[in-house]
């Protein structure tokens, strides 16, 4: 199969190392240093895929990230990656690639029927055609269109690779290692700045890899190698290849993805595939170079038609001839480099130049080499279905509206050049407003908004001399600003070809009665006719034209097509390009693997896990866990084949009958100290705090300034100026920030300090009639009687040598205590409780039993304090002090808050005493009423009441207190249930609260 397309001795590939790979099931060979693209081209393969919409055969257009066509799917299974640009894939042994968007094969693609029908699929076709019937879109049209149009197939399994994140700071970040970038890096580094140089490609040097230039009497590539090794030897410099800086964010935050695995042969599963760098740079030099624009002519999208610079790169970097009968089609001088390179390698190119003549040295050099040049000519059309085999070349008439003559010339590739577009993506992302440069017919950066400097061809300077000068002076200037050093080098002398002015003509007219497709956006199948249609239909804003035609919206973000599209719109509208403007450049510059963005925060590492010190004990005792925010808490302790409900009933019953113990470590705990503590609490909570005695706890409710209940909990006075506050698990973080806000911002005159101690204390709640007996065993030295530790009492005591805090507080409604010890003693405390409680039939209980106990007692929790209720909705109006002001009090006389029909908390029992009512069910008076059925309230929490052995729920019900005794329906369309219920008091068990005080 070798086709002798590989040149001897030319290029930077390693000919000693042959590499085998598979493309569309067939085995091929390339060399180390090849890309998938260069290896395929060396094997004579141009046809690589099918276009997005019309399934037209497509080949390689570029040689780097600008490539719009050459997408492949790499590998298979979990490792598969769709939409990879073949021009950026480094060849490794065993690489497997397949073509995308074609069936049954790339050379015979059934979908190509779209191409024959293309008259019926112009821009906006989908919008106009699939409008009706309305419900057909989801069911019929969209699935079919999605199947026919598209790119690769996303992997269905989790990504097996690892991705790392890295944070870095530097003085000067240089993006791009072409001549200006290298010069900038060298100057800044020599002047003492901390420098990062980032190059997207595996090889450093940019245009110096392919241009015939000398710098300081060295060949361009040699100067690159020497400069890179010099930079690498400096301790203040980080040099990175295979690293794409894809986003320029606020305050000079640059994000870069480094490829660290795919090109490595002996990687392990632990080798990160990519590293995402977050770089905060004091100064950024954007030296990202430029991208060649295609010329537009009939059927300009066939395989074998590519950018002239790409053809040159394949020859000079990879030693690959992209064809043996090339036509070079250009409107400028740079394409002559490509022609000369062909000629030097024994291939006779034909140059078709739109211009009438050019006097530059490079054209003279081509003439001297006897290269055949046709001035005032252009390519009108190309032929050849799966690969170009001939071109229709026309002599342009004087006003360039048509042709004086046409001839057919056979060829096997067409190398086009429509001049160069500066790569201004990063500059524009930084907030730099671009300006249009008439001379090069493209946008360049103007005024920087951040610390960004764009130099070299990215700034529209296309000579080597200017690029080097700008690089050295910018590198010095920026580093001087930071280091204040004055080490200034001299710019080396350089030699280069000179290039004359390009011709702005770039879109070939159609000959009479010919309607060739002229492609503008290769990846999204946007043709000249589509853009003309959009303008004809009244789309004026370039952003609208973009969205209507999808011009520049593909994965390549229109790197090769945007400017041609703009020029076309401006031509049609008879405007100049700057009036048309340009679409917004947004990150990322090139597609980024989702895995790289996520990094290591996948699976259980998605967020931190908080565990109590007793977690292992729970695990060993068959706990089934549940997430409570970041905390992992035991939901129930499973015995044999119990269900969740059975276990919750068993655990809750044991609390009501004997004694249970619950891990309450996750409860928010805040230590409050200072002489103004009581005054502060008085302002924060709705009830009075000034007279709380030392050694006593009090239940409190906090409001937001708008009057809505924020959180609740108990706070204990440890000593005169020392309080211990508890919050709900869910709001712990927010309550602390809330307290800090009022102390630091609103009332800085209060002398109070707050500190989260949630993780410093392990907590265990003992609940049930036997809890006092158990407490007595745990603390035999102290008096635990009702008089010594009354309800809401507090005592410090000694748990077999461990200092402990005892709070007599109850969430279950039973006689209960909460014991806190320092976290490190948590497991000691827990095991002691279990050991000494054995004779009282102690059982641990989880959050499900905890909920059961609080629901049947009518205690509110997060499901009732849902950000919509005020104190009186929860029957907590008795806690609103009339004597003092507090946060949110002024809001409570709002009209909506004093409305007597407001929703109130009530209890709900199903009439059949059997059916569990789904949480979230709506309460309605008529379950058969037509929709929308007026909602009277909703079920906030449900449990199986162990006290009465029937289901019980809490609900927030409109005018609830007056509805007690009424019969309503709880309906849950989600669970398809409708249950007849009776409204009862929310205090279902022990309404007088005698047990907690017993």
Interface ranges with other proteins (CB under 8 A): 249-253, 278, 280, 431, 449, 683, 705-706, 737, 740-741, 744-746, 748, 884-886, 890-891
* Smallest distance, other proteins to C-beta of residue 727, A: 16
Residue 122 or residue 588: which is nearer to other proteins going by CB? Answer: 588
β 660-663/95-99 pair status:
unpaired
**Closer residue to other proteins in complex, CB, 142/705:** 705
Q: Which residue's CB is nearer to other proteins, number 342 or number 680?
A: 680
Nearer to other proteins among residue 484 and residue 737 (C-beta): 737
Pick between residue 710 and residue 828 the one whose CB is nearest to other proteins: 710
Give the shortest CB-683-to-other proteins separation in angstroms.
Answer: 6
CB 723 within 8 A of CB 681: yes
In the bound complex, what is the minimum distance in angstroms from residue 743's beta carbon to other proteins? Answer: 9
Nearest distance from residue 717's CB to other proteins, in Å? 22
Q: How far is CA 470 from CA 85, 152, 179, 204, 441, in A?
A: 32, 42, 10, 19, 21
Task: Please give the Cα distance from 318 to 347 (Å, whole number).
Answer: 17
Shorter beta-carbon distance to other proteins: residue 85 or 670 = 670
The tokens for 133 are: 């019937």
Q: Which residue number, 27 or 251, has a Cβ lying nearer to other proteins?
A: 251
C-alpha span between 841 and 638 (Å, rounded): 16
Query: DSSP E strands: which ranges in 516-572?
Result: 519-521, 526-527
DSSP state of 511: P
Q: Is the peptide bond before 932 cis (omega within 30 degrees of 0)?
A: yes
Quick one: CA torsion of 577, 581, 582, 585, rounded to 10 degrees? 140
Residue that has been written with the tokens 């964010």 in this structure: 249
CA distances from 737 to 664, 731, 869 (A): 22, 10, 21
Closest separation in Å from C-beta 894 to other proteins: 9
Q: C-beta of 239: minimal distance to other proteins in Å?
A: 25
CA contacts within 13 A on the Cβ side of 7: 26
**Nearer to other proteins among residue 744 and residue 925 (C-beta):** 744
Tokens (6 digits) for 48:
């690589």
Min separation Cβ 721 and other proteins, Å: 21
Residue with smaller CB distance to other proteins, 526 or 743? 743
Helix (H) or strand (E) holding 391: strand 390-396
Minimum CB–partner distance for residue 956 and other proteins (Å): 23
Counting every residue written for the chain, the total comes to: 998
**Shortest distance in whole angstroms from residue 250 CB to other proteins:** 5
CA–CA distance, 609 with 629 (Å, rounded to integer): 9
Nearer to other proteins, 708 or 956 (CB): 708
Rounded Cα distance between 662 and 814, Å, is 13
- The nearer residue to other proteins, 169 or 515, going by C-beta atoms, is 169
Q: How far is the CB of 583 from other proteins (least distance, A)?
A: 20
User: To the nearest whole angstrom, how small is the minimum distance from the Cβ of residue 733 to other proteins?
Assistant: 8
The radius of gyration computed from the CA coordinates of the chain, to the nearest angstrom, equals 38
687 alpha-carbon distance from chain centroid: 46
Q: What is the 3-state secondary structure (H, E, C) of 710-722?
A: EEEEEEEEEECCE
Tell me which DSSP letter residue 126 carries: H
Nearer to other proteins by C-beta: 214 or 881? Answer: 881
In the complex with other proteins, the residue whose CB is nearer, 893 or 930, is: 893
Whole-number Å distance between alpha carbons of 682 and 676: 10
Burial 599-637 (b: 16+ CB within 10 A, else e): beeeeeeeeeebbbbbbebbeeeebebeebbebbbbbbb
At closest approach, how far in Å is the CB of 895 from other proteins?
Answer: 10
Q: How far is the CB of 762 from other proteins (least distance, A)?
A: 23
Q: Is 901 exposed, middle or buried (0-12, 13-18, 19+ CB in 10 A)?
A: exposed
Q: In angstroms, rounded to a whole number, what is the distance separating the alpha carbons of residues 772 and 795?
A: 14
Distance (Å, whole) CA 701 – CA 800: 35
| Six token digits for residue 872 | 């009186």
| Selection from 437, 382, 415 nearest residue 62 by Cα | 415
Q: How far is the CB of 780 from other proteins (least distance, A)?
A: 41
Between 248 and 506, whose beta carbon lies closer to other proteins? 248
Q: Which is nearer to other proteins, 450 or 561 (CB)?
A: 450
Q: Which residue has the tokens 């809401």?
A: 792
Query: How do beta strands 967-972 and 816-822 pair?
Result: unpaired
Pairing of strands 519-521, 526-527: antiparallel
3-state secondary structure 754-819: EEECCCCEEEEEEECCCHHHHHHHHCCCCCCCCCCCCCCEEEEEEECCEEEEEECCCCCCCCEEEE
Shortest spacing between CB 889 and other proteins, in angstroms: 9
Task: Output the smallest distance, CB 29 to other proteins, in A.
Answer: 46
Question: For residues 721 and 734, which CB has a smaller minimum distance to other proteins in the complex?
Answer: 734
Q: How far is the CB of 424 from other proteins (least distance, A)?
A: 19
Secondary structure (3-state) at 302: coil
CB 18 within 8 A of CB 92: no
CB 474 within 8 A of CB 285: yes
CB of 732 to other proteins, least distance (A): 13
Buried b (16+ CB within 10 A) or exposed e, 141-163: eeeeeeebbebbeebeeebebbb
For other proteins, the closer CB: 154 or 746: 746
406 vs 746 by CB, closer to other proteins: 746
């Amino acid at each position: 199969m070798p086709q002798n397309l590989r040149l001897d001795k030319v290029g930077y590939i390693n000919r000693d190392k042959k590499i085998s790979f598979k493309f569309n099931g067939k085995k091929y060979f390339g060399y180390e240093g090849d890309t998938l693209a260069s290896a395929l081209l060396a094997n004579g393969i141009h046809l690589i895929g099918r276009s997005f919409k019309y399934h037209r055969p497509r080949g390689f257009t570029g040689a780097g990230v600008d490539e719009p066509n050459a997408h492949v799917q790499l590998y298979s299974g979990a490792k598969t990656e769709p939409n990879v640009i073949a021009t950026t894939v480094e060849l490794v042994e065993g690489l497997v690639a397949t073509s995308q968007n074609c069936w049954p094969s790339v050379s015979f693609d059934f979908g190509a029927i779209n191409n024959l029908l293309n008259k019926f699929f112009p821009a906006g076709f989908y919008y106009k055609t699939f409008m009706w019937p309305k419900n057909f879109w989801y069911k019929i049209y969209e699935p079919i269109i999605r199947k026919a149009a598209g790119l690769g197939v996303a992997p269905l399994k989790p990504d097996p690779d690892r991705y790392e994140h890295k944070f870095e700071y530097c003085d000067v970040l240089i993006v791009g290692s072409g001549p200006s970038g290298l010069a900038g890096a060298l100057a800044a580094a020599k002047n003492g700045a901390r420098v990062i140089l980032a190059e997207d490609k595996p090889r450093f040097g940019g245009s110096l890899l392919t241009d015939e230039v000398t710098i300081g009497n060295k060949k361009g590539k040699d100067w690159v190698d020497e400069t890179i090794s010099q930079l690498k030897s400096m301790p203040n410099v980080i040099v990175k290849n295979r690293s794409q800086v894809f986003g320029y964010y606020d305050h000079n935050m640059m994000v870069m993805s480094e490829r660290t695995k795919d090109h490595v042969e002996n990687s392990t599963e632990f080798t990160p595939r990519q590293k995402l760098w977050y770089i905060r740079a004091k100064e950024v030099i954007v030296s990202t170079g430029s991208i060649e624009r295609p010329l537009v002519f009939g059927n300009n999208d066939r395989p074998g038609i590519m950018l002239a610079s790409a053809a040159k790169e394949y020859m000079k970097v990879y030693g690959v001839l992209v064809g043996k009968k090339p036509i070079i089609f250009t409107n400028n001088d740079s394409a002559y480099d490509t022609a000369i390179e062909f000629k030097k390698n024994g291939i006779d190119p034909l140059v078709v130049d739109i211009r009438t003549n050019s006097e530059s040295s490079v054209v003279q050099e081509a003439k001297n080499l006897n290269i055949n040049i046709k001035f005032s000519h252009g390519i009108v059309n190309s032929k050849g279905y799966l690969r170009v085999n001939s071109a229709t070349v026309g002599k342009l008439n004087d006003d360039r509206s048509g042709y004086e003559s046409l001839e057919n010339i056979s060829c096997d590739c067409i190398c086009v050049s429509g001049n160069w577009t500066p790569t201004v993506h990063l500059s524009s992302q930084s907030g730099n407003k671009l300006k249009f440069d008439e001379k090069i017919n493209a946008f360049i950066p103007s005024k920087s908004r951040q610390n960004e400097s764009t130099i070299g061809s990215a700034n529209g300077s296309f000579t080597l001399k200017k690029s080097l000068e700008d690089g050295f002076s910018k590198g010095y200037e920026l580093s001087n600003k930071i280091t204040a050093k004055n080490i200034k080098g001299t710019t080396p002398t350089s030699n280069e070809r000179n290039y004359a002015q390009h011709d702005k003509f770039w879109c070939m007219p159609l000959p009479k009665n010919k309607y060739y497709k002229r492609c503008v956006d290769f990846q999204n199948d946007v043709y000249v006719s589509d853009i003309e249609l959009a303008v004809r239909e009244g789309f004026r804003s370039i952003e609208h034209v973009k969205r209507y035609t999808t011009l520049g919206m593909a994965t390549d973000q229109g790197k090769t097509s945007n400017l041609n599209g703009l020029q076309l719109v401006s031509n049609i509208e008879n405007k100049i390009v700057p009036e048309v403007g340009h679409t917004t450049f947004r990150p990322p510059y090139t597609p980024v693997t989702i895995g790289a963005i996520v990094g290591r925060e996948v699976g259980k590492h998605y967020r931190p896990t908080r565990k109590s010190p007793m977690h292992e004990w729970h695990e060993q005792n068959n706990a089934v866990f549940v997430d409570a925010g970041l905390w992992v808490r035991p939901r129930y302790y499973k015995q044999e084949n119990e269900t969740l409900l059975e276990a919750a009933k068993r655990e809750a019953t044991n609390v009501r009958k004997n004694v249970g113990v619950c891990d309450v470590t996750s409860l928010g705990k805040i230590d409050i100290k200072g002489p103004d503590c009581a005054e502060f609490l008085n302002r924060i909570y709705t009830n009075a705090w000034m007279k709380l005695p030392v050694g006593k706890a009090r239940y409190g409710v906090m409001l937001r300034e708008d009057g809505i209940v924020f959180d609740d909990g108990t706070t204990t006075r440890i000593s005169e100026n020392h309080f211990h506050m508890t919050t709900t698990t869910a709001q712990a973080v927010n309550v602390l920030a809330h307290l800090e806000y009022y102390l630091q911002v609103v009332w800085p005159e209060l002398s109070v300090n707050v500190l989260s101690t949630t993780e410093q204390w392990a907590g265990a709640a003992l609940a049930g009639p036997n809890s006092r007996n158990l407490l007595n065993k745990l603390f035999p030295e102290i008096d635990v009687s009702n008089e010594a530790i009354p309800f809401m009492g507090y005592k410090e005591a000694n748990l077999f040598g461990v200092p402990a805090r005892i709070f007599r507080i109850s969430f279950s409604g039973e006689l209960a205590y909460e014991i806190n010890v320092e976290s490190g003693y948590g497991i000691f405390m827990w095991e002691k409780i279990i050991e000494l409680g054995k004779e009282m039939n102690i059982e641990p209980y989880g959050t499900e039993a905890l909920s059961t106990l609080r629901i049947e007692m009518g205690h509110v929790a997060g499901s009732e304090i849902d950000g919509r209720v005020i104190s009186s909705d929860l029957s907590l109006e008795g806690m609103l002090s009339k004597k003092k002001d507090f946060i949110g009090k002024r809001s409570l006389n709002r009209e909506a808050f004093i409305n007597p029909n407001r929703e109130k908390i009530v209890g709900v029992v199903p009439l059949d005493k059997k059916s569990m009512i789904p949480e979230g069910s709506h309460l309605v008076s008529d379950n058969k009423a037509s929709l929308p059925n007026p909602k009277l309230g909703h079920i906030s929490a449900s449990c199986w009441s162990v006290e009465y052995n029937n289901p019980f729920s809490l609900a927030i019900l409109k005018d609830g207190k007056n509805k007690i005794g009424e019969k309503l329906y709880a309906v849950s369309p989600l669970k398809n249930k409708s249950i007849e219920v009776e409204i009862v008091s929310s205090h279902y068990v022990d309404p007088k609260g005698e047990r907690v005080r017993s």
